[in-house]
Amino acid sequence: MERTLAIIKPDAVGNKTAGRILERIETAGFTVRKMQMVTLSRAEAEGFYAVHKEQPFFENLTSFMSSGPVLVLVLEATGAIKKWRDLMGATDPAQAASGTIRREFGQSIGQNATHGSDGPETAMFEISYFFPGIDLT
């Protein structure tokens, strides 16, 4: 079993589609190990996305991610990282495959409903960022 971090972003929470996204997560066979709703401060968003600090989208990303509540989840499944990324779909909802979360619930590249870890090391960092002390074994 593998664990990954998922975030249901402010656009999806604000549009009241978080419940439908959670249903899709469970239907896909994930086990939700941890979940909390938080509103990130700008500093927290900047810390979480620090790897992108030099990117031109960093300012808009951190502003958006601190604009309202998000649902942060630890998902568990066999091959959870790839499985979650496949279920989310491409970053740009217009390019995402039919049936993916971002295609159905995303509005734009910036407001694309969900976030997911992109690899095992990232997942460990991201999970511990929101859930310090969690047992990742």
| Count of residues in the chain | 137
Q: Is 52 marked active-site? A: no
Cα–Cα distance, 9 to 7 (Å, whole number)? 6
Is the Cα dihedral 12, 67, 84, 132 positive or negative?
Answer: negative
The one catalytic residue in 6, 93, 115, 131 is 115
What SS3 state is found at 99? coil
Q: Nearest CA to 117 among 107, 134, 129? A: 129
Specify whether the backbone of 79 is left (phi greater than 0), alpha (psi in -120 to 50) or beta.
left
- Distance separating the N- and C-terminal Cα atoms of the chain: 9
Show which residues are catalytic.
115
